[in-house]
Structure formats: C-alpha cells, structure tokens
Chain A
Amino acid sequence: MPIEKHILNKNDTRAFLEATCLDLSSSDLTINTIIEDAQSWQKEVHCLSLFAAIFLERQSHEGGNCQPLVDRIYGLEDKMCFSMNECDPDFVEYLLRNIRESGLPMEEILTDILTRYSNYDRSKTIRM
C-alpha cells in the first residue's frame, strides 16, 4: 500500500521548517502531527522549493544566516520522510500538460499540481 502523502502549502512550509530546522516549537497541532508522522515514516511530506525559498528569504531579512539553514533543510531527507520538489523539468512538463483551475492564486495552483504530481502513479505509464 502506497504511503500517504502530505503537500505543504506556503504557511505550512514556514511552520514546518521553523519547527524542524529552527527548533521553534509549533502551537499548530496539525503541523506537529505531520512532523511526527514524517519522522515515523508513516507520511511522506512534500515541499516546494519556492516556498522554502520564501522562508529562507524571510530569515535572511530578519538577519539570520541562511547557509546552515539550507544545509539543515536539505538534511531533513535523511531524518524523516521528506521530499523537496525543485520544480524540475518533469514537474514543469506535468504542470503544462494538466488542466489547472483558473482564477486561483499561484500558491494554491502549485500546491494542487504538486498533490496530483506526487500521487501520480507511473508504474503503468506507456512510454512513447
């Protein structure tokens, strides 16, 4: 049975990275549950590099040193079931080939596309 996936939106990304990389405890119970599930490999957490970049930029403006933070974010993959989506060519192709709901903000469109993309089952794809 495939592992359940959770896609972080912009606000969730911030709370998730604050809790996992800055060791700031979160009052958001949902985030805490997601982190626990990811740590016990019961849930696969997906994050868009765009939202991680927004988080990093905010830290930088607040005077934080981003270099160790980048290392910690990319080190999460070794500690929990976490995956960073870099908006690579495959993702962009998927984005262009799939119908998007118009009128939504970009953040919601991307989260929606990433949800479908990460749940996309390639095992029965016919390659041309």
Chain B
Amino acid sequence: MSKLLSRPSQTLLPDAKARYENLGFTDNPFPAQPAVDKDSQDPRINGDIYEIEIRRKELQKINNNFLKVPQSNPNHLRLGYIIDTSYIGRGNGKSAFLINLHEQIGKDYCFDISSHANKCFSLYIAPEPGGRCKTFPLLMDLIFSTMISSEILDVCLATIRLEALNKVNSAKFQEIIQRDDADIIKFLNNPKWYEENAIQMSDIVAAAYTIPNLSELGENFPLFLGKNTLSPELSTVDDFKEYYKTFIKKPSDKLDFIFSKLVYFFESAGFNGAYILIDNFERIPDFQSGRQKKDFASELRTCFFDGFYRNAKIGFYNVFLVLHAGVPGLISEAWSESGLDNRAPINPKTESNHIVLFEKLSKEHAILLIRKYLDEYRIKKSVVNKLLPFTEEAISYISQLSEYNASKILKFAYELIEKLVESSDSEIIDKAFVEKQEFHHTTDSDRGVPTIDEVQSEDLLKKVQG
C-alpha cells in the first residue's frame, strides 16, 4: 500500500486540553522570573499587567505635585525622589510603577491631566549595572540615546516641519493634517514625500529657521543641514546622532547641547517640559567615589537649578530618581556638600511634596495584584469569584511568607499554579495547599545563608591600621 494512504493505528486525542485549561486559564498567569523588562513582549514582565489601585496614593501625589502643576510656574518641582521604604530587597513594584507613569505621560503628553497647561514627554532611563554610567556626562549619553530610541526627536522634527509647511504651502498642510499622527510623522520625515508633492526642501528649511527659538540654535544644528546650499537635505535622527558623536566632544558642549540647544528645539516643537525617570538610580552612586558623588550632585544642581543653561532657567526637564531604601544615606553627604540638599532635600523622614515614599505592600494590595494577573489570563472573564483558584486566606499566607514583596508573591503564585496543575487531589489553592508546598519555598537556611551567629566578623579598624 502506498505510504501516502497509510494511517497510524493510534489516533491523537480529539478533545485534548491545554495545560492550564482545566483551571480556566490560557497560560500560567504569573511570571516565572518576575523582573521587569520594558522591552519584553511578555505582558507578565514588561509592566503591561499593572494594578493601578495598589499605587493609587503614590500616583496621586505625583499627579498633584508634578504633572498638574503648570511648567510656567517658576516654583514647579524639578527634582523628585521615589524612595522605597522597605529593606526587604528588590521587587517592590517600583519599575512597573515607573513604566506605567512613563506611559501615562506619553499617552497624551500630559495634556489632559494638566488641563492643557503642559505638554511634556517622558524618558524612561535605566542605567546599566556595572558602573558604565557613573559620571554626569555618561548619564547624558544615556539620556540622549534614550531620546533617539523613544522617537521623540522624530515627533519634534515632524511638528516643526508641519509648522513650516503651513507657511510654505497651506493647501498641502490642510491635506496632511487630516491624516493620523503616525502618518504625518512618517511623511514629513521622508524626503520622497516632498519630491512626490513638489515641495522644495530649501523652502521648508528656510521656513523652519524663522520659527521662534530655532534661530537660537545656530546654523550648525542638525535640523538646518545644508541650509545655505542649493539643495538642502532633509535632516533625520541619524544626523542628530552623527552631530552628537562628531561635534560634541567636551563634557561642557554635551551639557550645552542637552540642556540648552535641545530644550530650544523641544520648545519649538510645542513642548514645555519633559520628565526624565531614572530607575535603579543606585547603579550610579554605587560606583562613585566620595568626590565623584559630590561632582555628580553639583552638576545636577547646575544643570537643573542654578546654571546658565536654558533648562536651569525655565525648569524644562523634571527628573525622578528612583531610590532603594539605603540609597539616600549613600548620597546625602554629597547632596548636602553640593548644595543640592537646599533645592531638593533627600531626607525621607520628612514629609515633602517632592518625595514619594514607596511603602511595603499590604494584604489587600496582594489580593489586588493576584486578581489582576488572574484576570488577564482567564478564559471566561465572567467568573464570579475573581480570585479562583486562590482563597483569600491563601493569598494572605503567601504574602506573609513572601514578606509582602510583590516579586516574591508573583513567583510563589507561579509555583503554586504549577503544583495545582500537577495535583490530582486539589482544585483550589487554600492555606492547607500552600502549607503542603511550603518546603519548596526557599528559606535562608535552604540557600545556605549562615546565621548571624555563624557569620565571620572582621575587625575593620585593625585591618585599616594594618
């Protein structure tokens, strides 16, 4: 018989179910490794699954004290701290909070929340571990590369060109503004579009040069590439990159470019502010000597508050530093020596508008967190008990064992769902079920951590004295 017609004697199960289908989920709702990765496609770890209620108080404080305050107010806060108050370690949800804050600002550029007073963009900065960002100019490099990758420069180029187009050819302007924003940005930053629509690039560049603030930038600024030549080119973000790499060598030039020229450029594109959200800030001072910390704080003060840059004069950039519990102690001396402490004190014990304290989660928060993840992966959204297969008591117990740390709670919940899938004698995760699995939950002694009594002590004074 032809092998084309042969059939196996065993047939595959017609009603085979997915691994988590019996529990009513499309996948395990919890992340196996709960560490936030903004660029991941997995919503469990990229910050997409986010329960806003958990951090409603913190968000409210940022909205009231920062986002809603007009940038034109000379006393608006320019430097804020988000400080973890718990020493239990990483995974308290600060990064997820920051990514969601970044998205909230980016959604409509703060327009609605500030009742049209502000138009601000946001940059999410995460310094790399390993000390590659330990000086202020190196942080500037990171901020500039984030501006490139966030496509804010594309938006600004298109906005400026749109305004120039209105002056040069109002019929075309009326035609193009009917399109959506993504199309406008794509067309106006593409030389072919100008060719196809018989618009002279030289006219656009000349018209752009008359926009207030832009003439302050000088003819070398990448936007005016070839302005005085017969056929000026359409400058792109790559030209900005090239300009930064080739012409800006000295740290002082770098600061002038970021804190003066780019500020004028953004202002011309209709923005009146920007938020720079620096996550894991400890990765900067961790690698700095005492003197480097002081220099860093001094430059922060010069560029954001008291210097001669356009930014220091108007407070265009607003910065949020996200600090772990021990970091204020690490930098407070440098902050006070540089005078930055007078501008934005860092003492977390004092209640201030610019300090947002990140408290440990509560049992209620843990329930909200678990429910949010379960909801996202539930096959039937109309389930009455939104916590199933967990019981409230079990969540309370899990939270207690996880020291109310969001990341540990999620990891524990992941393991429990895996256990439940494999278990034949239980359909819910109650306290008894958790207790049965508890031996898998790693403790200090499982990890071989010595007790306080066993730790070898070292006489540091003796060591220093030789």
Contact = CB atoms under 8 A, between A and B. Distances in A.
Interface of A: 10, 50, 53-54, 57-58, 61, 96, 100, 102, 106
B461 A57 contact: no
A63 B461 CA distance: 37
Q: Most A CB atoms within 10 A — which of B445, B453, B457, B459?
A: B453
B453 A57 contact: yes
B447 to A, nearest CB: 14
Contact of A61 (B451, B459, B461, B462): B451
B462 A53 contact: no
Contact of A54 (B453, B457, B459, B461): B453
A95 B7 CA distance: 84
B12 interface: no
B452 interface: yes
A53 B461 contact: no
A93 B453 CA distance: 23
16 contacts: A10-B453, A50-B452, A54-B451, A54-B452, A54-B453, A57-B451, A57-B452, A57-B453, A58-B453, A61-B445, A61-B451, A96-B461, A100-B461, A102-B459, A106-B457, A106-B459
A102 B462 contact: yes
Contacts of A57: 451-453
Nearest to B400: A67
Contacts of A58: 451, 453
Interface string B432-466: 00000000000001000001110001010110000
Contacts of A96: 461
B401 to A, nearest CB: 13
Contacts of B462: 102
B197 to A, nearest CB: 71
A57 B445 CA distance: 11
Contacts of B457: 106
Contacts of A100: 461
Contacts of B459: 102, 106
A112 B96 CA distance: 48
Nearest to A96: B461
B129 to A, nearest CB: 30
Contacts of A10: 453
Interface in B326-352: none
A106 B456 CA distance: 10
B336 to A, nearest CB: 16
A102 B458 CA distance: 12
A96 B459 CA distance: 11
Contacts of B445: 61
A91 B239 CA distance: 59
A14 to B, nearest CB: 11
Nearest to A110: B457
B87 to A, nearest CB: 14
Interface string B377-410: 0000000000000000000000000000000000
The 9 closest A-B pairs by CB, nearest first: A106-B457, A54-B453, A54-B452, A57-B451, A57-B452, A53-B452, A102-B462, A96-B461, A61-B445
A57 B455 CA distance: 13
Nearest to B457: A106
Contacts of A54: 451-453
A121 to B, nearest CB: 25
Contacts of B453: 10, 54, 57-58
A100 B457 CA distance: 15
A108 to B, nearest CB: 12
